[in-house]
Structure formats: C-alpha cells, structure tokens
Amino acid sequence: MKEPFSDLFKDSNVFADREVLSPHYMPEKLPYRDKQIESIVRFMTPSLRGERGRNLFIYGKTGAGKTSCVKHIVEKIKGLPTMAKVSYINCRIYNSRYRVLYKITGDYLPIYAKRGYGLVDIYEKIINWIEEDGKILIVVLDEIDIVKDLDDLVYTLTRANSDIKSGGIMIVGVSNKISFKDDLDPRSLSTLYENELVFPPYNSTELSMILKERAERGFKKGAIDDAAINLAAAISAKDSGDARLALKVLSKAGELADERGDGFVTVNDVNNASEAAEEELVYELVNTLPEHQRLIIYAIALLSIQGSRYKRLSGDSEAYLFSGDIYNKYSAVSKSMSKNPKSSRWYRKYIFDLEMQGIITAYESGKGIRGHTKLIKLSYSPDRMKETVEKTLSADSEA
C-alpha cells in the first residue's frame, strides 16, 4: 500500500511556479488594459490632487480584468506623494454598510476597530479622521452589487461629503452588472455624481498572449507548447472571454499532466481540464446570483433541454429561445416553487445582467420573427446549468 502523503513534497514534472497561473496572481504588467488603466487614473486624478472628484463605476464581464486593474492602480497610489488614502474592500466579504465602514476603520484607525463601536460612532471617527488634514478617502468597492444594504451604504458615503468640512470621499464601484444601479432607491441615486467605464471581454488572440506570458514563468521549459495554450485561449474566448477561466484551464491541464507523470501538457489535457474548470467557475458564479436570476437560468436550461423550435437565421445549428417563452417558463417555475415571479420589466434587467456576465448569449431577432424579439441561449451546457441551479436552490432551502 502506498504511504499517505508520499507525493506531498515531490517536485512537479510540469510546474515551475504554479502561483503564476492563479487568477489571483498580480503580474507586473496587465496586457491589453492600458486604455482602461489610463481612464481609471484620469477619473481618479482630481481626488489624488485633493479635490472632490466624481465617483466612478466600472463594469464588465467576469474575468475581463476589472479587479486586476483596480488593484494594480491601488498599489501604485500607495507609492505616490498624495494626501489621498485608498481603502480596497472586497464586498463578497464585507457585504454590509457596517462591515464596509468597519473595514475602512481597520485600515486607517485600527485602535477603534476592536472596541465594538456602533455604526454612528464608526462613521463619526472616519469623518473626523478625514477632516484632520482635509484628505480624500477613495473607497474601492469590488463587487459592490453584493452589498446587502447597498442603498444605505451609497447614501451614507455620498452624503458624508455634506458633513465633511474639509476633504471628502470618492467611491469606486466595480461590478459585473451594469444595471445594478437600477435597484437603488431614488434618494441614493440622487446623491451619485459618477463616471462610468465598461471593460470589454478578452478575445482569443489577447487571451493567448496573456496565457503565453504566464506559461513562460508558470511551466517548466518544454512542458507546454503553443497548441495547448492556444486551445485554452480559444475555449475561454468562445464561452465568455474570461481570463480567469483560461488560467484555470491551463492550471488544471498541468495537474492532469503531472498526474500522468510524463512532464508534458497535451491538447487532450486542455480539453479535459476545460470541462472541470468551467463547471467550477460556473457554479461559483451562479451561486452568487440573486434567486430570480437563477430561476431564469433554470427556465432557459429546461427549455433548451426540451429543444427549441427556432434556430438562428445565419444557419447556426445551435437553438435559440424566444425571450417571451423564457419569461413564461420562468413564471411557471417560480409559481411551482411558491415564489412570486418578477415583472417583465425586472425580467429584462435580469436578462441584461446575465448577458453581461457571459452566462447567456442574446441578440435581437429583427423584423419577421414574432415582429421584433430577443433570442437567447445559454453559453454553457443546459444539463450542467440545470444541475448547478438545482444545487444552489437546494442549498438555499436547507439554509
């Protein structure tokens, strides 16, 4: 019998530095994002000069490089001779107004972060700290749409500028959902004074170059060739242009090659890895979506499995579904689960968000097919999406 942990400290046959292939690794340079970085810096410049600049909201599909660019800029700001202070906050962890303010206090006023102060006390401590020398606080809220009491948070941070006599607060919000502000209360919306920036998804060529740069450092020499790298890029570009998915595919392909023990990543490894990586990322993404967006995905999956009667006019063999049919199915599914379906207005917003995140593909049919409608299909396997949503809904029920 093989000894447990016998392979724990064994050198890898293919990896030189596996951390380089992690989606969380921060490279020195961010390829194909110079324009976006320049735009973010330009929008933040007034605050870095000590002025009350406009808020900034950054949108784009998952894996489009939003977080990497923002973190890159935050690190650069820390080395600048500026009065501005930056607090980067992952809203998946700090997902309420209190937790966000608590994180800011922990970053710059740690003496108050451990004493159990209430919301009002923490708010006043932050205001007093800003007024000490008239500094600008830049609050970066990554995945801002995750915050449970987002209305209250936005209103608090924006209205703070009315209470601050010297200095101010700038919000930089990062989200996959370009329409998330539509959920805000009018009083919160009225306090916003913002610029907006949309990140485009990476194409196959861009992903290929990104992967090659990472592979040069992440894999041992000769452990992977361009064919395997280009395939990983093409798979990810076809689905959503998600750089995180591309890196996960490459890393998992390396694992498969390591298990085989021959020291070379094959095209077959990439194909096998893509299925596992895609399933992992899709589950992570779907699990964070609002309940009714998951129900819409479930409805699309059910209709897709049943088989659509409609196909794209260009001759594409993949079946698209009518938006109206999906809404009817979603309504029926919701009622069967004792949930009230959202209105068609909210449904259209949810469809837009799902398209932005690369979960679905949609296009306008033009005239001639039921007049003018939207045709929709899943970007992933309907069977896999159905199973994924069922798991998340089951977990919700147990909770």
What CATH number corresponds to the domain at position 336? 1.10.10.10
Listed in sequence order, the residues at least 6 apart from 8 whose beta carbon sits closer than 8 Å to its beta carbon are: none
Helix/strand/coil (H/E/C) assignment for every residue in the chain: CCCCCCCCCCCCCCECCHHHHCCCCCCCCCCCCHHHHHHHHHHHHHHHCCCCCCEEEEEECCCCCHHHHHHHHHHHHHCCCCCCEEEEEECCCCCCHHHHHHHHHHHHCHHHHCCCCCHHHHHHHHHHHHHHHCCEEEEEEECHHHCCCHHHHHHHHHHHHHHCCCCEEEEEEEECCCCHHHHCCHHHHCCCCEEEEEECCCCHHHHHHHHHHHHHHHECCCCECHHHHHHHHHHHHHHCCCHHHHHHHHHHHHHHHHHHCCCCECHHHHHHHHHHHHHHHHHHHHHCCCHHHHHHHHHHHHHHHHCCCCECCCCCCCECEEHHHHHHHHHHHHHHCCCCCCCHHHHHHHHHHHHHCCCEEEEECCCCCCCCCEEEEECCCHHHHHHHHHHHHHHHHHC
| End-to-end C-alpha distance for the chain, whole angstroms | 41
pLDDT digits 0-9 by tens, 230-245: 999 998 887 667 888 8
Q: Are residues 195 and 213 in the same domain?
A: no
- The answer to whether residue 399 is domain-embedded is no
Q: Which of 201, 89, 211 is nearest to 138 (CA)?
A: 89
Mean pLDDT check: name the lowest of 16-20, 224-228, 299-303, 357-361. 357-361
Q: Phi and psi of 74, rounded to 5°?
A: -60, -40
Q: What is the pLDDT of residue 312?
A: 42
φ/ψ bin of 378: left (φ > 0), alpha (ψ from -120 to 50), beta (otherwise): beta
Residue 309: pLDDT above 70? Answer: no
Most confident of 1-5, 111-115, 364-368: 111-115
Mean pLDDT check: name the lowest of 25-34, 60-69, 166-175, 351-360. 351-360
Q: What is the pLDDT of residue 277?
A: 78
Residue with the two structure tokens 């907006």 = 196
32-54: average pLDDT = 94
Q: Which of 340, 356, 351 is nearest to 373 (CA)?
A: 351
Q: Are residues 45 and 75 in the same domain?
A: yes
State the Cα–Cα distance between residues 18 and 40, nearest whole angstrom.
30
What CATH number corresponds to the domain at position 273? 1.10.8.60
167-190: average pLDDT = 83
- Percentage of the residues of the chain whose pLDDT score is greater than 90: 50
- Percentage of the residues of the chain whose pLDDT score is greater than 70: 91
Q: What is the pLDDT of residue 114?
A: 73
88: confidence class by pLDDT, cuts 50, 70, 90: very high
286-297: average pLDDT = 87
Residue environment code for 212-231, b if the CB has 16+ CB neighbours within 10 A, otherwise e:
eebbeebbbeebbeeebbbb
Domain count, the chain: 3
* Final residue belonging to a domain, choices 287, 310, 345: 287
259: confidence class by pLDDT, cuts 50, 70, 90: confident
Q: What is the pLDDT of residue 45?
A: 95
- The answer to whether residue 1 is domain-embedded is no
282: confidence class by pLDDT, cuts 50, 70, 90: confident
96-115: average pLDDT = 89
Listed in sequence order, the residues at least 6 apart from 283 whose beta carbon sits closer than 8 Å to its beta carbon are: 388, 391, 392
Q: 226 or 61: which carries more pLDDT confidence?
A: 226
* Final residue belonging to a domain, choices 165, 180, 199: 199
195-212: average pLDDT = 92
pTM (predicted TM-score): 0.75
190-194: average pLDDT = 76
- The answer to whether residue 181 is domain-embedded is yes
- In the sheet that holds 374-378, the strands lie side by side as 321-322, 374-378, 360-364
Residue 8: pLDDT above 70? Answer: no
Report whether 326 contacts 293 (CB < 8 A). no
Q: What is the pLDDT of residue 10?
A: 62
Range of the domain at 331: 291-394
* Final residue belonging to a domain, choices 287, 316, 331: 287
194: confidence class by pLDDT, cuts 50, 70, 90: confident
- The answer to whether residue 188 is domain-embedded is yes
pLDDT digits 0-9 by tens, 337-350: 999 999 998 898 88
What CATH number corresponds to the domain at position 44? 3.40.50.300
pLDDT digits 0-9 by tens, 16-29: 999 999 888 888 88
Q: Are residues 264 and 142 in the same domain?
A: no
Residue 316: pLDDT above 70? Answer: no
State the Cα–Cα distance between residues 263 and 220, nearest whole angstrom.
9
Q: Are residues 38 and 174 in the same domain?
A: yes
Q: Are residues 275 and 303 in the same domain?
A: no
Residue 141: pLDDT above 80? Answer: yes
* 55, 57, 66, 195, 209 from 198: Cα distances, Å: 15, 9, 9, 10, 22
Q: What is the pLDDT of residue 365?
A: 66
Mean pLDDT of the chain: 86
198: confidence class by pLDDT, cuts 50, 70, 90: very high
Q: What is the pLDDT of residue 32?
A: 94
Q: Are residues 99 and 85 in the same domain?
A: yes
Q: Are residues 341 and 224 in the same domain?
A: no
